[in-house]
Copies of this chain bind each other. A is one copy, B any other.
Amino acid sequence: MPLPPPAAPGLPLAEVDTPALVLELDAFERNLRTMADAIAPLGVRLRPHAKSHKCVEIARRQIAAGAVGVCCQKTAEAEVLVDGGIEDVLIANEVVGRAKLARVAALARRARVSICVDDALAVDQLDAAARAAGVRIDVLVEVNVGADRCGVEPGEPALRLAQIVSGSPNLRLAGIQAYHGAAQHIRSIEDRRAAIAAAVGKARATRDLIEEAGLACDVVTGAGTGTFMFEGASGVYTELQPGSYVFMDADYGRNSWDGLPRFEQSLFIWTTVMSAPSASRVVVDAGLKAHAFDCGPPLVVGWPGVEYARPSDEHGTLTVAPGARAPALGDKLRLVPGHCDPTVNLYDWLVGVRGERVEAVWPVGARGAFY
C-alpha cells in the first residue's frame, strides 16, 4: 500500500517527479555540525526532537553527531524510532489511556523510554502499565513555564506531582520538562531571551523545590530551535530538544538570529509548473496537500518577483510581478515550506540530494504516526 519512492539514488534532481520533499544534504550536514559546535561549550546534552523529521535515518545521524538520543511527541512515533534501532527515546508529551500506556510500557522493555506527565491520574495509569509490563519507566513532570498548553504550574503543584511520581513503585522521577513552545517564534532576540529568562526562573525554582523536598531532579529538559542557546547557557537546563534546526522553514526565517548560531534552509518542496495561463500567473502542482499553511505560504526560490499567492488543495497559484521573468510550463522549482514539521508529515519519502543529484531516499517512517 505505501506509494513508491519518487526517485532513486543517482537520478538528476531535474528528473525527480513532483511534488517531492527534497533535503539538501550538504546544508543538512552543516546544520548537524553547527548544532554540535554550539552545544559543546555549554555542558548540556542534546536530545533533538524527532517530531520534525519522523525519520530514523536522520535520528541516527543526529546521534552520530553527539545527541544522547531523541525525543518525540507520540507513542506511535516512539515505536517507529525504536523499531529503527534508536535506543533512547523521550516521549516529550503527555499520554493518557490504558491502551496507549500499555504500548509505552511494552516499548520500555526494548529501549530506554522516558515520558512526561502533568496529572496524577496519568501517573496512576502509567504506573499500572509499567507494573504489568515488568518495567520501571523514567518520568518527567511537565511544568508550564509560559506556553500555557500542557504542564502543571511551577512550584508547589509541580512538587506535589513529583512526589506522586516518586511514590509510584514502577516509575522513577527523572526530573522536569520545561519547554516554552510559544517563545520559539518571537521575532526579536531580546524578547525571546526575556521569555526564556522567565521560563528559566520558573524551572530553577521548581527544580530547587523538588530537591529541597529530598527528591532527585537530575534532568531539566526543554528548548527549541529558536531559543536553545538561552536555555543551554542558563545553568538550569541539562538537556535541549531542538528539532527544526535540521531543516528550517519560512517562519523561522522571519526570526532574528544576530549573534546566534545560524542554520541553513536544507528542506524544499520540489514542484512543477503545471499551468501557465497568463503572464502574471502560473500554477504549480503543490497545494494544501503538499505543504502546511498554518504559518503562511511557502517562499519561491530563485525567481525574483514570483510569489506563492494562493493555495488550493492540489494547486499553488503563483503571481508574477510586472517585468519579472516567469517560470514556463514544465519548469521545476524549489519552495521553502512555511512550517517544516507538519509539511514533512505529508510525505512518505525524503529525497536527499547532493548538488543536483539524488544521493539517498529515506522513508519518513513516522509520517502519520500520531496515535
A217–B2 alpha-carbon span in the complex (Å)? 39
- Determine the chain B residues whose CB is within 8 A of the CB of A371 once the complex forms: 6, 17-20, 285
What are 20 A-B contacts with C-beta separation under 8 Å?
A1-B363, A3-B76, A3-B369, A15-B99, A18-B371, A94-B275, A95-B274, A96-B274, A97-B272, A97-B330, A119-B329, A122-B329, A150-B275, A150-B283, A151-B277, A181-B312, A288-B292, A294-B294, A294-B311, A346-B346
- Would you call A274 and B2 a contact (CB within 8 A)? no
What range describes how many residues of A lie at the interface? Answer: 35 or more
Q: How far is the CB of A225 from chain B (nearest CB, A)?
A: 13
- Would you call B74 and A314 a contact (CB within 8 A)? yes
- Interface assignment of A345: CB less than 8 Å from any CB of chain B: yes
A338–B62 alpha-carbon span in the complex (Å)? 36
- Determine the chain B residues whose CB is within 8 A of the CB of A341 once the complex forms: 288-289, 313
- Would you call B149 and A17 a contact (CB within 8 A)? no
Q: Which residues of chain A from 77 to 132 have any CB-CB distance to chain B below 8 Å in the complex?
A: 93-97, 99-100, 118-119, 121-122
- Determine the chain B residues whose CB is within 8 A of the CB of A317 once the complex forms: 148-149
- Interface assignment of A362: CB less than 8 Å from any CB of chain B: no
A96–B272 alpha-carbon span in the complex (Å)? 8
- Interface assignment of A27: CB less than 8 Å from any CB of chain B: no
- Determine the chain B residues whose CB is within 8 A of the CB of A276 once the complex forms: 119
Nearest B residue (CB) for A315: B149
Q: How far is the CB of A161 from chain B (nearest CB, A)?
A: 11
Nearest B residue (CB) for A117: B275
- Indicate the member of A18, A20, A153, A313 with the most B CB atoms within 10 Å: A313
- Determine the chain B residues whose CB is within 8 A of the CB of A369 once the complex forms: 3
A190–B276 alpha-carbon span in the complex (Å)? 32
A337–B343 alpha-carbon span in the complex (Å)? 18
- Determine the chain B residues whose CB is within 8 A of the CB of A15 once the complex forms: 99
- Determine the chain B residues whose CB is within 8 A of the CB of A298 once the complex forms: none
- Interface assignment of A200: CB less than 8 Å from any CB of chain B: no
- Determine the chain B residues whose CB is within 8 A of the CB of A329 once the complex forms: 96, 119, 121-122
- Interface assignment of A175: CB less than 8 Å from any CB of chain B: no
Q: Which residues of chain A from 146 to 180 have any CB-CB distance to chain B below 8 Å in the complex?
A: 148-153
- Interface assignment of A293: CB less than 8 Å from any CB of chain B: yes
Nearest B residue (CB) for A4: B76
Q: Which residues of chain A from 134 to 151 have any CB-CB distance to chain B below 8 Å in the complex?
A: 144, 148-151
Nearest B residue (CB) for A289: B345
Contact of A277 among B99, B144, B273, B314 (CB under 8 A): B144
- Determine the chain B residues whose CB is within 8 A of the CB of A20 once the complex forms: 371
Q: How far is the CB of A298 from chain B (nearest CB, A)?
A: 13
